[in-house]
């Protein structure tokens, strides 16, 4: 069993039949698990994603250094705390560290190879934008239109906001 499975799945409740509650595998044995974000202030980030974008709290844990060091390729002490938030099936893992300083990343741009942004559809774009700064984020003013905008979370992660009207024009999900 992979180290990550040993560290994290054991925290989930076990049902009477021995199955893990909420743990479902597809026929190929692979399912999307989560997106992880390293954050500097767990409480601030949690408030941002919950109050601004409607994520709900799922669970959290202090992860033992034994195993976390190998998986994350970090020297001990690691001091990892994980907080899991969930919205519409998307699990967002907030990672913060009590035993080490975190390094600020450079600002990613849209033509840089790798993950560029995370996108959300919102029912009231203007209302969401009005609350970004109060929750520690920033609005990239030059990107704001009636239907879309780019913002940054409190640690600088680029997020795209789209009005939910675009969903009507999109083809149905497969």
Backbone angles phi, psi at 148, to 5 degrees: -160, 160
pLDDT, tens digit, 9 for 90 and up, residues 56-77: 999 999 999 999 999 999 999 9
- Strand (E) or helix (H) holding 35: strand 35-38
Distance (Å, whole) CA 162 – CA 155: 21
Element (H, E) at 92: strand 90-97
Residue 6 pLDDT greater than 50, yes or no: no
Helix (H), strand (E) at residue 4? helix 3-8
Question: What is the Cα–Cα distance from 5 to 30, expressed in whole angstroms?
Answer: 13
Q: Provide the terminal-to-terminal Cα distance of the chain, rounded to the nearest Å.
A: 32
Question: For the chain, which domains are there?
Answer: 1-103 (3.10.180), 104-174 (3.10.180.10)
**Given a cut of 60, is residue 130 above it in pLDDT?**
yes
For residues 27 and 63, give the distance between their C-alpha atoms in angstroms, rounded to a whole number. 29
Task: Kindly report the backbone phi and psi dihedral angles of residue 15, in degrees, each rounded to the nearest multiple of 5, phi listed first.
Answer: -80, 170
| pLDDT(21) > 80 | no
Assess contact for 56 and 87: CB atoms under 8 A.
yes
pLDDT digits (tens, 9 = 90+) for 132-160: 999 999 999 999 999 999 999 999 999 99
Q: How many CA atoms lie within 13 A of 96 on its CB side?
A: 15
């Amino acid at each position: 069993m992979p180290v990550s499975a040993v560290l994290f799945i054991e925290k989930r409740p076990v049902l009477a039949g021995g199955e893990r509650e909420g743990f479902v595998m597809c026929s190929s044995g692979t399912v999307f698990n989560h997106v992880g974000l390293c954050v500097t202030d767990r409480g601030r980030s949690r408030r941002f994603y919950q109050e601004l974008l409607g994520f709900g709290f799922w669970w959290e844990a202090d992860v033992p250094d034994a195993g976390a060091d190998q998986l994350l390729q970090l020297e001990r002490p690691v001091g990892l705390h994980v907080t899991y938030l969930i919205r519409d099936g998307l699990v967002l893992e907030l990672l913060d560290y009590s035993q080490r300083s975190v390094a600020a990343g450079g600002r990613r741009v849209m033509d840089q190879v790798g993950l560029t942004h995370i996108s959300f559809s919102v029912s009231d774009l203007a209302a969401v934008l009005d609350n970004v700064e109060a929750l520690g984020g920033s609005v990239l003013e030059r990107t704001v239109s009636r239907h879309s905008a780019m913002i940054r979370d409190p640690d600088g992660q680029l997020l795209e906001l789209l009005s939910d009207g675009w969903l009507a024009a999109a083809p149905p999900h497969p």
